[in-house]
Amino acid sequence: MDEGLRDLREEFRERLIPRREFIRRATLLGLSLSGAVAFLNACRDEQGGEPGEGEPITMGALVPLSGITEILGPPMQNNAMLAVEEINQAGGIQGRRIDLLVEDTASDPDTAVEKARKLIRQDQVDVIVGVLTSAERWAVALSATIPAKMIYINPTYYEGGICDRYFFNVGALPNQQIDPFVPWLVENKGVSTFYLGGSDYAWPRGSFAAVTAAVEAAGGQVVGEEYSPLGEADFSAPLRRMSAERPDVIYPLYAGADGVTFLNQLIDLGLQQETLIASSALSELTLPALPAEATVGWVASFEYFMNIDTPENQDFVQRYRQRFGADQTMDAIGEGMYTAVNLYAQGVEQAGSLDKEAVVDGMLAVQFEDPKGAIRIDQDTQAAYLNDYIAEISSDTSLAPEERFEIAETFEAIRPEQPCLEEPPA
Amino acid sequence: MEQVLLQTLNGLSLAGILILVALGLGITFGLLGVINLAHGELFMLGAYTVLVTQEATGNVWLGIAVAPIAVGTVGLLIERGVIKRLYERPFDTLLATWAISIVVRQGITLWQGGGFQPIAHPITGSVSILGLEYSRYRLVLLALGVAVLVLAGLLLYRTRLGLHARAAIQNREIAAAMGINVSRLDSIVFTLGAALAGLAGAAMGPLVTVSPAMGLPFLASSFFVVILGGTGSLIGVAAGAAIIGGGQALISFFANPVIAQVAVLLLAIVVIRIAPQGIFGARRIVA
């Protein structure tokens, strides 16, 4: 380019901001930056809580705070924080306080593995809780926690299959979330044909295998099954095929934001007027984004709803909102983090030490109350016995979205079942 | 055959939106040479304008009308505040607009929360076209895309402003020497591009997920549209949008959505290999 012009510009700029002025500005900027950093550090220290006598326990939480599933991350982080703060305020575990280290997975398996390795090697944590998507979960388990023999507790409902002495699961497995749900739909809603549509990765594929089996066992029929890439903006082709098949039920399992995009385009076509929408992914975080009138009568199945009518849960929701704000909502995955933190704390309490083998045995032995019901761990799968709640969306559109999940049926303490897999289902 | 027709129509409605987003990007990229990585955030701001207007007045259409004005204003501020100082430094512009995109995204997260937000559907249901059901709102989107394209064409080829803009594309220095106020022109063009992004986001809001990160996938596909069609060409943007939008809809109906995404991007690579300037790319006179 024009060297002459550039020189002229440089000279001009020099004249505009003399050197002394530049140094003054840079110093000011530096000072204000370090002030900001100090302020942020001060904020961070506040969450420490009461120090106990012993060495603190360090817990790593892997949470998606950015990327395609970022809106599901904050409730996960909040629940982990709430559980840790409550434990610390009650004097910690055997005099030890828990230090929580939160890492952002960026909704990405590679980043999740990198962060898990950092927690293991650099921070030398005692336990890892978290991750959202199955892609992240399989990557973290196979490439980070299992090789390092690190205790890892998964909070998210998923397709199942990870088996390891140090891997624990407090999210629903298909036999706890889908197996009760599908026959319930067939029986109570008089439906028989199902169309399944989901994002193209392990969780929808693995879950749809379970849905298909359950539909056939209940005497129904799956008339279509298809997958779209993550981050899809236009669902007209799948919706067109669904509308052509005229199924009784459309069962969507699209991840994160895709789930809302799909349902918005379905509502735009008016498919919900003749078809029942049932899903094991329609949560308190999805519903607020949809037009309220269109969602009346839709059905969802989860191990936790904010609307569960028990004193334990009402009290829990109140504590959560006192801590994070009166309008805050969470889904089953978020609440799963609360369970995961408490499972580890109970395990240490039971073991009486931080010895890893003793803590694992401790977690296998404990039983405790959780907002979603009593928690104990199955010896074979190392997953939690869970309740399954089936909720219908209320026709009362004046209610807050999370209050529209009317619990229609509760299946109590379902034993977890899963096959052990070497790699994620394809 | 009916299905081909219907899917073409579907594809065109997506193309209508892609035209809106890509046109804004095409104008700033093609005319100003600015690679605006905050374009997806301008799209997102359009949707949030509708959301805020809807909360205040209950009217979605009003929101869609206000969005281009609001987002255009934001665009003007970005141009005056940042980009103006960075012309002829494309790499710095890239970094600066990327930074702006993060600031805007996080700002919206702080203000509106990171969650999914609802926009009411202004029209729902379908109409029958040649015996096949077709979404009404998508037809509106298609019409909007075409109308804006025509307006942009008129602006660029039938007005004094358009003449000046085309002159500045061909040779910035000479245009300035001939008395065209290039700096003012830059501001106008960038503002227009931002307004188009805002309009696209507002119109697409009811059909997608409104969240702070919603602009990212549209930014990517718009870049493909602009590169495929050729920079600085309106017909190019239209053709690019039709190929990407239409191709994707057709293939995803007859094969599946995963294959469609791969196939369309492969097609884009092949086209760029054969015609590096894009299909209708103007050969720029490099200063």
Q: How far apart are CA B95 and CA B15, in angstroms?
A: 29
- Tell me if B249 and A228 make a contact (CB, 8 A cut-off): no
Q: What is the SS3 string spanning B53-110?
A: HHHHHCCHHHHHHHHHHHHHHHHHHHHHHCHHHHCCCHHHHHHHHHHHHHHHHHHHHH
Does A325 reach chain B within 8 Å, measured CB to CB?
Answer: no
**Would you state the pLDDT for residue B284?**
47
pLDDT tens digit sequence for A307-356: 999 999 999 999 999 999 998 999 999 999 999 999 999 999 999 999 99
Closest CA to A152 of A62, A70, A81: A62
- Residues near A140 by Cβ (< 8 Å), separated by ≥ 6? A62, A109, A112, A113, A116, A128, A131, A152
Q: What is the number of other CB atoms lying within 10 angstroms of the CB of residue A92?
A: 22
Nearest to A264 among B3, B207, B258 (CB): B207
Nearest to A229 among B10, B118, B257 (CB): B257
CA–CA–CA angle B241, B208, A284 (5° rounding): 160
Q: Is A130 helix (H, G, I), strand (E, B) or coil?
A: strand
Does B91 reach chain A within 8 Å, measured CB to CB?
Answer: no
Size of interface A-B (CB pairs under 8 A): 119
DSSP A96: B
Q: What is the number of other CB atoms lying within 10 angstroms of the CB of residue A19?
A: 8
- Tell me if B7 and A237 make a contact (CB, 8 A cut-off): yes
Amino acid at A240: R
Q: Is A110 helix (H, G, I), strand (E, B) or coil?
A: helix
Q: How far apart are CA A44 and CA A87, in angstroms?
A: 18
Contacts of B141 in chain A (CB under 8 A): none
Give the containing element (helix H, strand E) for A258. Answer: helix A256-269
- Tell me if B258 and A227 make a contact (CB, 8 A cut-off): yes
**Would you state the pLDDT for residue B243?**
79
- Among A120-124, A270-274, B281-285, the least confident range: B281-285
- Tell me if A291 and B120 make a contact (CB, 8 A cut-off): yes
Sequence-ordered strand ranges (E) for A210-363: 221-228, 249-253, 276-279, 299-302
For B254, which residue in chain A has the nearest alpha carbon?
A237
Q: How far apart are CA B14 and CA B34, in angstroms?
A: 25
**Would you state the pLDDT for residue B228?**
82
Here the ipTM equals 0.77
Does B58 reach chain A within 8 Å, measured CB to CB?
Answer: no
Tokens of A420: 């052990």
Give the containing element (helix H, strand E) for B132. Answer: strand B132-135
Contacts of A290 in chain B (CB under 8 A): 118
Q: How far apart are CA B133 and CA B129, in angstroms?
A: 6
- Tell me if B10 and A236 make a contact (CB, 8 A cut-off): yes
**Would you state the pLDDT for residue A45?**
43
Distance from CA of B230 to the nearest CA of A (A): 23
Tokens of B192: 């227009």
- Residues near A124 by Cβ (< 8 Å), separated by ≥ 6? A58
Distance from CA of A378 to the nearest CA of B (A): 35
Q: Which range among A17-21, A131-135, B19-23 has the greatest average pLDDT?
A: A131-135
Does B159 reach chain A within 8 Å, measured CB to CB?
Answer: no
- Tell me if A237 and B257 make a contact (CB, 8 A cut-off): yes
CA–CA–CA angle B235, B233, A1 (5° rounding): 170
Contacts of B208 in chain A (CB under 8 A): 233, 260-261, 264
pLDDT tens digit sequence for A202-218: 899 999 999 999 999 99
